[in-house]
Structure 1
């Protein structure tokens, strides 16, 4: 009898251990807006105060060469949700609707048994920035307190679940959204299913003057030191904006610190994947671009922070990954870490092996692009680019445009393109660029008109009005993957 009881106990223990081993991790994804990779204490910026993220960087893998697939809000977010490139989805302009036909982040996690929740800025609905993102257009997120787009941080609106009535976050919205994230986790920590929580914060995106006054006081404009690639003509304006930008950064750092503290307090830190990143950066006067400008292939715009912590990190905590990563790589990598099958439609790479061994794949090239920025000037309107652990290479429909040695020229002030001594480097980077484009079905670097016709945007009056698009000669009907548009 004793032997039978002992055997039963052993089997029960083994069963419990098996269930524990099969337990999928929670996912807490924290997305900020317009936070460039260089503007963090752990990244070497001695002026900005980001103590909570500096501490988190010691517990996470830090991808220093992360790039935004297109350094603009909507294209980045569409790529993040789908694991696909803007040239494949047609989501290469702000304020577009992400088609329901796309298989998205939350839909995959829902199918895997997760509870899913979205808080904050969405910017994928295309039905007006102040309008409600209707439940059927939320791409699978089941718990919802979000808005299409609102950067009024002292009176930011949102819609809650099925309620069609507009509400407003109380006080400074970044703090309020972080508080809501903590409430959600408290309410779901003991549920049978794991949760996937997406926290989308609007800061440090402008307007910068709305940052908390006590934090702006930390950054007197006259004491702020600007990078050497900011010309004298932008110095006064850049310092004025940088004061509020840094204050937003410090406030957002506090909000993220509160979320991470709550994860630890709830006892789920060791079984959670936590990501901190941003959709794009901010030129802030660099290379003679006004503050607020993104779009560009320069590091200030395209290089974004990316920290990831995951269960059983061990000695990887605090390590630096030099391997480049781009937006479509994020979703498949997270799915792999959660032992969820990666759908065939996803175009990004599964870089979870690099998450687990940050010294791997140092030479890989991460693809990013701008297909149709509508009149954004110098250095070029359209570009395709790759970033590696050392170089940034940019090409336009007219040919090679930029080559920077990012290790030896951090501020990208010495363009090496077409210089004889860098011929082999440029040839290698061009080969990597074209291989990545061909992998996703792009056989050449097309001009903007190609994609405007391909996805039917010339036939939509609102695009002609908003982006000053002229009619194309000899084009009568444009067929996109989702609709057919007639051009008058």
Structure 2
């Protein structure tokens, strides 16, 4: 990235975001695995403390999250996109799990799975894809990537507007634009990428 001093890469949009926001130069993850890393982010504790070592199970209700701390301080806490604080197993209906996330300190919830989880779970996003006739196309593409000896690196068959991260960004923006509460707000936005499968939207 240009903002990190690379002599050849030109990344004007990322550079602008870095100038206008906060650039973390020493950030590291508590775990290379998704669920333990996200549990650490939410709880502020290492995997050996919160007990999530693998991409299975769920973040214990005994673990206090920073969302709960913010709620106690008078914040509205909201979430759009992927939390992965619990297993996204075959057939899980994410809207039916919202009570679990409310219990973890998230008042407003609009959850999706990531690309791999979206082929086996139900969510507001998969409902939208199904209504547009895109769900089977998406699932077939993800399965083809899993079977590809080259790692399945090619453009997604979904248009930019229908792409998972576009949907998450759009829903997050809608929440912020429609927010009328007097309380301060913390919005946790969980994009699916960057993450395998590497399925950037097509043209």
| Fold similarity call, TM over 0.5 | yes
Q: What is aligned with 1:136?
A: 99
2:183 to 185, 193, 207: 193
Task: Please show how residues 88-107 of structure 1 align to structure 2 within 5 Å.
Answer: 88-107=49-68
1:122–1:50 Cα change, 3 Å? farther
1:121–1:75 Cα change, 3 Å? same
SS of equivalent to 2:77: strand
Q: CA deviation at 1:172?
A: 0.9
Task: Please show how residues 249-288 of structure 1 align to structure 2 within 5 Å.
Answer: none
SS of equivalent to 1:167: helix
Task: Please show how residues 403-414 of structure 1 align to structure 2 within 5 Å.
Answer: none
RMSD: 2.9
Q: Does 1:73 align with 2:38?
A: no
Q: Does 1:177 align with 2:168?
A: yes
**Conserved 8 A contact 2:70-2:77:** yes
Q: CA deviation at 1:51?
A: 3.0
Q: CA deviation at 1:94?
A: 1.5
1:48–1:77 Cα change, 3 Å? farther
Q: TM-score, normalised by structure 2?
A: 0.70
Q: What is aligned with 1:206?
A: 196
**Conserved 8 A contact 2:89-2:121:** no
Q: What is aligned with 2:17?
A: 56
Aligned length: 168
Instruction: Write 1 or 2 for the structure with the bigger share of helix.
Output: 2
Q: CA deviation at 1:154?
A: 9.7
Q: What is aligned with 1:159?
A: 123
Q: What is aligned with 1:111?
A: 72
Instruction: Write 1 or 2 for the structure with the bigger share of strand.
Output: 1
Q: What is aligned with 2:155?
A: none
Q: CA deviation at 1:60?
A: 3.4
1:129–1:91 Cα change, 3 Å? farther
**Conserved 8 A contact 1:42-1:57:** yes
**Conserved 8 A contact 1:151-1:207:** yes
- Give structure 1 stretches of 5+ with no counterpart: 1-39, 215-488
Structure whose CA Rg is larger: 1
Q: Map Cα deviations across residues 443-463 of structure 1 (whole Å, 9 max, x no partner).
A: xxxxxxxxxxxxxxxxxxxxx
- Give structure 2 stretches of 5+ with no counterpart: 130-160
